[in-house]
Structure 1
Amino acid sequence: MQTEQEQEILNLRDRQLTPKQIARKLGLKVSEVSTFLISHAEQTALASAEKGELLPVVQCLVNVNFADALLRNETTEAGGLGLVMVTRSKGYNRFVVTSYLIDYWCLGVKDAMPPRNCNDSQYKNLIEHSYSPFMQQYEEISLEQAQALVWGAIAYAKKLGFQPHRDFEESKAHLGEPTSEISLKFGRNGKPYYIEGPYDDTKKIINTLRNSVGDGNFDYLYGIG
């Protein structure tokens, strides 16, 4: 394959054409186009890794209620939980995905999924499964917004005395450090609001809030069910 053809394949791929469409336009075999795209993506990912750079971002997602409450400052009574998903490319049809379950009213990062490798169909299934508790209502956001949501929740929770879930340590490099200063307001009605979860040490959490902000400066709800 000539250098000019390789560049034309990349140009057409940037225009979101499929390997089959590219092959038809350039008079090539689909297998030739697919093989080149896979090889090029792997070489690009390897070069980035050697430089200590993160893999390129494919997509960042968040459930709509979380975006409404934090990114658009709209009033919502959706329970204070949000899910941020960050996906990076590891090559053609190969992805690395992490997700972060956020209690944006109080506890910060309640859970985190360490980097998971998947192909296109596995990635689509993972999205649907992950956002099914949120009625599958999610939207795409920028990496900067995803970082602001996760790191902002961590900073807010730390002021209250809470650390992120232990699995966050394994997944934070995938998220990357914040690259812009986006100001977000965490908590509910200007103060922490704790809602008991099934695996929480409720007594410890309430005592932590009493020590950090004092009685009367936080709300809580527990004993559901």
Structure 2
Amino acid sequence: MSNGAARSLQISDCYVNEDWAENGLASIVVSRVHVTGNVTIGVYLVDIYCLGLKNTTFRFNMPYDEYEEFVDMIYEPHESDRIEIDYDLAHSIIFGAINYAAKLGFAPEKDWAFSQ
């Protein structure tokens, strides 16, 4: 399944660290569920004040228990809790930061082509 085909999967959970607006760094997880119950996720580290998309990765077709462990691992280093957000907010944070950074001359991280 290509990244374009993965976008056709139903959106499941979306998370961000609770203090993203205060500290300017957002760790965002967007998950999509397969008919099998497995999950494909995109993970985005976003600097909203300057660099835009600093880092990104994805995991394809993960069993749900592995997905839960992976998400816990992503948010473990944060001083604040993760909160669930809707997809529209996740999308706005990511694309807004990318567009702002582009005006400052910064391009998104190279793996953006695969994880978007």
CA deviation profile, 1:64-117 (whole Å, cap 9, x unmatched): 011xx2xxxxxx3x3x21111100011232110110001111100000013432
In the alignment, structure 1 residue 88 sits paired with structure 2 residue 42: no
SS of aligned partner of 1:154: helix
The structure in which a higher percent of residues are helix is 1
Q: Any gaps of 5 or more consecutive residues in structure 2?
A: none
Which structure has the bigger radius of gyration? 1
The residue identity in structure 2 corresponding to 1:137 is D
In the aligned structure 2, how far is the partner of 1:115 from the partner of 1:152?
23
Q: Any gaps of 5 or more consecutive residues in structure 1?
A: 1-48, 70-75, 173-225
Identity %: 32
SS of aligned partner of 2:42: strand
In the aligned structure 2, how far is the partner of 1:129 from the partner of 1:150?
21
TM-score (norm 2): 0.88
CA deviation profile, 1:160-179 (whole Å, cap 9, x unmatched): 0000000111111xxxxxxx
* Equivalent position of 1:54 in the other structure: 8
SS of aligned partner of 1:91: coil
Instruction: Tell me the CA shift for residue 136 of structure 1.
Output: 5.9
In the alignment, structure 1 residue 65 sits paired with structure 2 residue 19: yes
In the aligned structure 2, how far is the partner of 1:53 from the partner of 1:165?
19
In the aligned structure 2, how far is the partner of 1:62 from the partner of 1:118?
20
TM-score (norm 1): 0.47
CA deviation profile, 1:38-77 (whole Å, cap 9, x unmatched): xxxxxxxxxxx5xx961000111111011xx2xxxxxx3x
In the alignment, structure 1 residue 165 sits paired with structure 2 residue 109: yes
The residue identity in structure 2 corresponding to 1:98 is G
SS of aligned partner of 2:77: helix
Inter-CA distance 53–87: structure 2 relative to 1 (3 Å threshold): closer
